[in-house]
């Protein structure tokens, strides 16, 4: 079928306060996913390794964001945290270009053995596999730092 979409919504506000368990889900590897993950308060840990995504947004108000790069993305993936750090992990061999919008209180830190700076605030993963599609990631924040590992 074409033109069919499924929406998965996990609404923490509808969850009883006595239930503070972390949510864990596993998505099919061979389907393209549009990702939207957001929280006002709390940490986001999204392992997208092996997934195909059609871009998306992952955002936290007060909390850190940690994302493992997907294996393919048809549109840029946007990561942001208003008050917290943003950690981007790119698996070995994955082609990735990461744009970090730095500011007075939001700096970029990168592992020089894993990334090279190709322009101001733009980093590229070193030694990608020749068959690896390029994944674009845009990182923004207000208070905190971006860490590329």
117-127 per-position pLDDT tens digit: 999 999 999 99
Whole-model pTM: value is 0.87
In a domain? residue 90: yes
Between 8-17, 34-43, 95-104, 110-119, the lowest mean confidence (pLDDT) is in: 8-17
In a domain? residue 110: yes
In 3D space, the residue among 76, 121, 68, 123 whose CA is nearest the CA of residue 92 turns out to be 68
In a domain? residue 94: yes
User: Which structural domain, as residue segments, surrounds residue 86?
Assistant: 31-148
What pLDDT band is residue 1 in, cutting at 50, 70 and 90? very low
User: What's the domain count of the chain?
Assistant: 1
Tokens, residue 54: 């059609």
Stretch 58-86: mean pLDDT: 96
Stretch 122-134: mean pLDDT: 96
């Amino acid at each position: 079928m074409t033109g069919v979409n499924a929406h998965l919504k996990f609404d923490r506000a509808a969850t009883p306060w006595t239930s503070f368990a972390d949510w864990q889900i596993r998505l099919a590897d061979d389907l393209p996913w549009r990702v939207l993950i957001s929280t006002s308060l709390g940490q986001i840990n999204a392992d997208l390794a092996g997934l195909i995504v059609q871009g998306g947004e992952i955002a936290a108000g007060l909390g850190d964001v940690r994302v493992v790069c997907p294996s393919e993305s048809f549109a840029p993936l946007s990561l942001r945290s208003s008050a917290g750090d943003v950690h981007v992990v790119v698996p070995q061999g994955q082609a990735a270009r990461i744009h970090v919008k730095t500011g007075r209180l939001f700096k970029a830190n990168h592992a020089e053995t894993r990334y090279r700076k190709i322009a101001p605030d733009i980093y590229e993963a070193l030694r990608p596999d020749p068959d690896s599609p390029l994944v674009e990631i845009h990182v923004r924040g207000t208070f905190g730092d971006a860490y590329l590992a």
